[in-house]
Amino acid sequence: MTTLIHRLAPIALAALLTACATTPPPTAPAGPAPLPAPTPTVDTAPPTEAEATAPAPAHAMAAELLEDNLRPGEKIDLDSPDVNSDLWARLRAGLQLQDLDDDWVRKAEAWYSARPDYVERMTTRGSRYLFHILEEVEKRDMPAELALLPFIESAFVTHAVSSTKATGMWQFMPATGRDFDLKQNIFRDDRRDVLASTRAALDYLGRLNKMFGDWHLALAAYNWGPGNVQKAIARNQRLGLPTDYASLKMPDETRYYVPKLQAVKNIVLNPDRFALTLPPVANHPYFLSVKIERDIDVSLAAELAGLSLETFQQFNPQMNKPVILAAATPQVLLPYDQASAFAENLARHTGPLATWTAWVVPKTMSPAEAARRTGMAEAALRDVNHIPPKMLVKAGSTLLVPRGEHVQDDVSERLADTAALNLAPDAPPLRRVSFKAGKADTVAGIAARYKVSATQVAQWNKVGSGARFKPGQAVVVYTANTTTAKAAAPVVAKAQAVAKVTRSSKSVRVAAQPKAKGGKGGRGVVAAANP
């Protein structure tokens, strides 16, 4: 504790008094490492004698940037007995859920017991976030077991992504995340945001508990979905069976879900019983919030904090790009020491903060053209914006590009919240070809002629894939320009040849071509640009 007090001494009196930060919407894998770009250097020159004796404006400015997001307006007393207590003991005192005791629990206990190294890594990661989560759980008067749920969901890996695209420490699916105001766009994924995802997860769990009136069922719904749990309950009601968690028919993953949480709870209650060791967790915040008032490169932010890029991203995993947009991310999370250092270094910094900005593409264009317009190498543009090969960038898309020296404004809140990247295949534009079917024309035959699939021909003409067209029936096909010309040419040539012989009144028309007449069975062809 003495060490902690010494570490906090520079900020203990002035730094922790401001209001709670507003939690942004939630958190994907950690953002990509920044591409090579001119990174401003940190001003670390020693102060002059006059500066040393004058008031320290950087320190005063830093104090305005630091916040305790858990206890707004409340000073932290480092001499309080609570600070010296063990957070595990506090968590044990708040356990409330009815215990499960079955073979599923035994299986989970055996699994964890056989992997002490895994448990140590998992609990060490969790120690960074447990104080914050437990505070939020207690504010809502919820069972303390819920603070252990990220052990089950993600092992406290903030950038975890499941096979079903559930993301973050609390494993939110995209749609559920949006339901709880967790923004997901090209700049950030708030399902990975520590503060926002915790707020959303506990809000969701509270809603589920109100829905089912039982925490075990609420947890099952968090894993399986509330609709599935409701159906399982209705089924048991029809059969006259109990509707508690243990009695419902559910997938093994959900059946195993609450027993795994029970096993972690049992380990927390008595780690010695399982020959496991829990790391000590102090009963005070592990991190502070630091206000971000201007856009800033992630690499520079890590440098100002004195952290490696990897460590910085562990606390701020929601960033999808190598720049933090102040309009969308008004705060970053940093450990105590680094929060103080970051705030003071940021207040002293005089160079540019961001070397990246957002650019809205004015028209559909190739990545090569976009790179030329923005002064980037095409490979770099593709890499930082995740543009796959053989794709065009559609008009209205937002790209991350180098920030020119003349650019003074940060990215706007509207753009930071709504930015999207829309792509289209880099292929010749389609043309609409229409003609009248002959006696023997079938969906399969026309598909082979125009080198498209029978399913497409059937969809375009609202018929079955095995259908035969009636003679004279209007048929539509969409094909590439080059294919259209090749496919239409024999038809037109044949029609023109027949016209010379028969002078029939049937017409064969091709866009920008003179009319030609065809004999019995000829096809009227019209090729026009697809609107």
| Mean pLDDT score, 186-212 | 97
Q: Three-state SS string across 18-51, please? A: CCCCCCCCCCCCCCCCCCCCCCCCCCCCCCCHHH
- Residue 365 DSSP class: B
Residue % of the chain over a pLDDT of 70: 75
pLDDT at 285: 87
Least confident of 52-56, 198-202, 303-307, 461-465: 52-56
Distance CA 298, CA 178 (A): 25
CB atoms within 10 A of CB 219: 25
pLDDT at 279: 92
pLDDT at 78: 45
Tell me which amino acid residue 462 is. Answer: K
- Confidence bin at 429 (pLDDT 50/70/90): confident
- Confidence bin at 3 (pLDDT 50/70/90): very low
pLDDT at 32: 33
pLDDT at 47: 46
- Confidence bin at 1 (pLDDT 50/70/90): very low
Closest of 367, 371, 481, 480 to residue 424, by C-alpha: 367
* pLDDT over 60 (residue 7): no
SS3 of 54, please? coil
Q: Which residue has the higher pLDDT, 428 or 233?
A: 233
Instruction: Render pLDDT for 28-82 as a digit per residue (tens, 0 to 9).
Output: 333 333 333 333 333 434 444 444 443 455 555 555 555 555 555 555 454 555 6
* pLDDT over 50 (residue 372): yes
Q: Which residue has the higher pLDDT, 499 or 377?
A: 377
Distance CA 9, CA 162 (A): 42
Q: Three-state SS string across 162-231, please? A: CCCCCECCCCECHHHHHHCCCCECCCEEHHHCHHHHHHHHHHHHHHHHHHHCCHHHHHHHHHHCHHHHHH
pLDDT at 323: 97
- Confidence bin at 282 (pLDDT 50/70/90): confident
Least confident of 49-53, 82-86, 334-338, 466-470: 49-53
Distance CA 62, CA 79 (A): 23
CB distance 133 to 124 below 8 Å: no
Examine the residue annotation and report whether 253 is marked as an active-site residue of this protein: no
Give how far the C-alpha of residue 42 lies from the chain's centroid of Cα atoms, to the nearest Å: 31
Tell me which amino acid residue 250 is. Answer: M
pLDDT at 531: 31
pLDDT at 479: 83
pLDDT at 73: 56
CB atoms within 10 A of CB 162: 12
Choose the catalytic residue: 67, 145, 153, 344: 153
pLDDT at 75: 54
- Confidence bin at 6 (pLDDT 50/70/90): very low
Least confident of 191-205, 440-454, 474-488: 474-488
* pLDDT over 70 (residue 510): no
pLDDT at 106: 98
Tell me which amino acid residue 386 is. Answer: H
Distance CA 184, CA 161 (A): 14
* pLDDT over 80 (residue 275): yes
* pLDDT over 50 (residue 396): yes
- Confidence bin at 322 (pLDDT 50/70/90): very high
